[in-house]
Amino acid sequence: MLEKQRTILKSASLSGVGLHTGNRSVMTFKPAPENYGIRFRRIDLENSPEIPADIDHVVDISRGTTIAMGNAKVHTVEHVLAAIRGCEIDNIIVELDSNEPPIMDGSAIDYVHTLVKAGFSEQEAMRDYLIIEDTVHYHSDTDKVDIVALPLKNDFRISLMIDFANPALGVQHSGLFDMENEFATEFAPARTFCFLKEIEMLKEQGLIKGGDIGNAIVIVDRQFTDSEFDTYKNKLELNDKIKIGTSGILDDTPLRFKNEPARHKVLDMIGDLALIGAPIKGQILAARPGHKSNIEFTKMLRKLYLQRKVVKKYQMLKSTNGVLDVEAIMKILPHRYPFLLVDRILEIEMDTQRIVGMKNVTFNEPFFQGHFPEKPIMPGVLIVEAMAQCGGILLMQTLEDAESKLAFFTTMDNVKFKKQVIPGDQLIFEMQILSFRRGFCKMKGKAYKGYIGGEVACEGEFSVAVVNK
């Protein structure tokens, strides 16, 4: 696997019609600098807004994957993302003059050809992988889906099975074991597919305005007489020359692979997994996946990736006792003795913007000498300060230039002190960011005695201003 990041050498374009919107668009791939990631740029909108291709910007998965930022949207990005990830590109700008990439023939092969035409350029920065170290499992009883990520040293593989209970499809399997040598020839040409009965539903929803049998495999899943099918074609405004055929595929469209639908599902999954924001070192096994399950699974892996990124950033060795030790905390916070009031971070969840920290309260704390000598009690204001420091660690992870910033209290609301904290207690802080806009953050939290859900020593809501040092 490649160890250094790469982009493309030069710009390259292609054009066509969007599958669902029917809008014509020109799509241009452009080189991007190191650590830029994959971003879609809408040049038809004012100021040409960019949308990062990550799971945090997914807004719709009803028939494909749609990403958005503000009023800027791009529909059906999964095939483009699959081509980019399949070509092992880390940094690229995908420029569009409309709201959906051209569907081309329903596969990713035209995107791959365009990227190959642009050429590849190795960059100096090292590639950041999500390395699967423990099993990650997604399960849905409703959709009968299982997806598992397993450890696999220094490699990426994906295997899946589909089962639509249709004679034309049956049960199909497919697997990719070598991205560099297999993707472009064995998976990029695999076209999208749908069932004939879905076409009516999709048209009623105002979708597949750019769809036809030239960019999708249509599986026949109901019986028609010739006259019934003629009526059906007129109703759906299908080409009058289209026939039911005898192969179980509308118009007897020949398959490029015997298991082309299963291969396309591999393609879709590679595209959706690109929304993690980093390539994977691990093995993916999937049974009956779709975009909905892919996105839910990707959310799980994105969360794991962001947590590992924090640990890696502060060079904390993996430990069963937490994700950040006090040495790592001191790389984040400016506080020092006797005012550093967090001993360890136990959990960081970047997707839910939640953090759990810990402080061991001992009799050697300097404030116990005066508060109070005969009845030592931790001052409430210091409990609040410890909570704020814990929340500040989480806040700093949301900033790209955290090293140049400081955070200060502006207000405290609904602060309540419910239990005394004395020597020998262990405080567990649970803090969560409620909002963060234009340098002002609102968070809430609780300080528990002993464990989450235990006795609440303190709780409250805090507003924080982030300023330059």
Q: Which residues are catalytic?
A: 291, 371
Residue 448's beta-bridge partner residues?
A: 428, 456
Query: Coil, strand, or helix at residue 377?
Result: coil
Name the phi and psi angles at 247, rounded to 5: -90, -5
Residue 7's beta-bridge partner residues?
A: 121
- Taking the C-alpha atoms of residue 242 and residue 223, their distance in angstroms, rounded to an integer, is 15
Name the phi and psi angles at 357, rounded to 5: -125, 175
By the 10 Å C-beta count (0-12 exposed, 13-18 middle, 19+ buried), 345 is classed as buried
For residues 186-218, b (16+ Cβ closer than 10 Å) or e, as one string?
Answer: bbbbbbbbbbbebbeebbeeebbebbeeebbbb
Element (H, E) at 288: none
- Taking the C-alpha atoms of residue 223 and residue 115, their distance in angstroms, rounded to an integer, is 42
Which amino acid is residue 14, in one-letter code?
L
The DSSP code for 322 is B
Query: Coil, strand, or helix at residue 213?
Result: coil
Rounded to 10 deg, the angle between the 78-86 and 109-118 helix axes is 50
Neighbours of 331 (CB within 10 A): 12
Which amino acid is residue 199, in one-letter code?
I
Contacts of 399 (CB under 8 A, 6+ apart): 405, 466
Query: Coil, strand, or helix at residue 428?
Result: strand
Query: Coil, strand, or helix at residue 292?
Result: helix
Handedness of CA 277, 91, 181, 130 (dihedral sign): negative
- Residue 233 token pair: 């074609």
Closest Cα to residue 134, out of 266, 300, 350? 300
What is the bridge-based pairing of β-strands 50-52 and 58-60?
unpaired
Residue 455's beta-bridge partner residues?
A: 449
